Structure 1
Amino acid sequence: MSRVDLSKVIVHATLVKLLFHQRTDRGMTLIAEQSRCVRAGEIHELLTTDQDGLAAGSRLDRVGFLGFVEVCNAGVLDVGDTVTCGDVRLGVVAGFDACHFPNHYNIVLRAERLVTAGDLALPVGRRIEFQQGTLSAETGHLR
């Protein structure tokens, strides 16, 4: 996808705290909203999951904790956005959990497997990008 194809800005964030644990019984619930507006300076938590069948209202048990990020520029995060750290694809936004809101949102990323900051050797201060998802020509779904 070229930058010309984007209908929103790329949201940049910086890892400010790393997390290294996994849970298989977390019990989060994905909120109904499919997007969240974020402001520069906000702190939010990034989680990975390999759990299938997630939708609004789903219970989420399988999570790997990546860490907390500080948002660098205002923008909109949408389900289906691709999240990267350098050349590493962290996952695709699967939804949001608000159990800690208004302190922060949990941003849930669908990944191939549960991973933590340690599994990916992520360093504090590393830049994270949230980019608009692309539509699959075959299915019409975001990938």
Structure 2
Amino acid sequence: MTLPSTTSLDWENGAKREVTGEIVKVLKHRRQDRGMRLEEFASRCVQRGEIHELVTTDHVETAAGSRIDRVGFLGFAEFIQAGVVDRGDTVLLDDEPVGTVLGFDACHFPNHYNVLIHTERTLTGPEAGLRPGSHIVFRPPARL
């Protein structure tokens, strides 16, 4: 899936390695009125050992400040492999593609970021089959 974008990500994106992690806590709730705000940044660096929250949404807006209301909470993930997570990265859970990084919400930062993942419908951790120890990968989109 290709997300609409207010800016092209291709102007500076070179090759990068995958960013990996594992689920440390599964979440099972969803909201229709969450009120998250999309950060203007198209990428975030993550360090080994950091823990961030994974949130699904069916929203497609990518403009800075876009309100994200419809969300499903997957869980918290510890990053095992440091790197850069970019808008448009494919997200795999236990080797199965689940969605595409839409962007980031920083309402809880510096404690953690909410990594917003576009999915066709909002998903919770149990609906995605997650358990503590489930593997997550942020894979860069294929380049032609």
CA distance in 1, matches of 2:118, 2:23: 19
| Aligned residue type for 1:76 | V
CA distance in 2, matches of 1:100, 1:55: 20
CA distance in 2, matches of 1:34, 1:120: 25
CA distance in 1, matches of 2:39, 2:60: 16
Asked if the contact 2:95/2:136 (under 8 Å) is kept, the reply is no
The runs of 4+ residues in structure 1 deviating greater than 3 Å are none
Asked if the contact 1:56/1:95 (under 8 Å) is kept, the reply is no
Alignment of 1:26-65 (within 5 A): 26-65=34-73
CA distance in 2, matches of 1:31, 1:54: 9
Residue in structure 2 matched with residue 92 of structure 1 by the alignment: 100
Residue in structure 1 matched with residue 135 of structure 2 by the alignment: 127
Per-residue deviation, residues 26-46 of structure 1 (Å, max 9, x unmatched): 001001011000000000000
Asked if the contact 1:55/1:95 (under 8 Å) is kept, the reply is no
Alignment of 1:58-73 (within 5 A): 58-73=66-81
| TM-score normalised by L of structure 1 | 0.87
**Unaligned stretches of 5+ residues in structure 2:** 1-13
| Equivalences, count | 131
Find the partner of 2:114 among 103, 106, 111: 106
| TM-score normalised by L of structure 2 | 0.86
**Unaligned stretches of 5+ residues in structure 1:** 1-5, 138-143
SS at match of 2:41: coil
CA distance in 2, matches of 1:50, 1:67: 17
Residue in structure 2 matched with residue 141 of structure 1 by the alignment: none
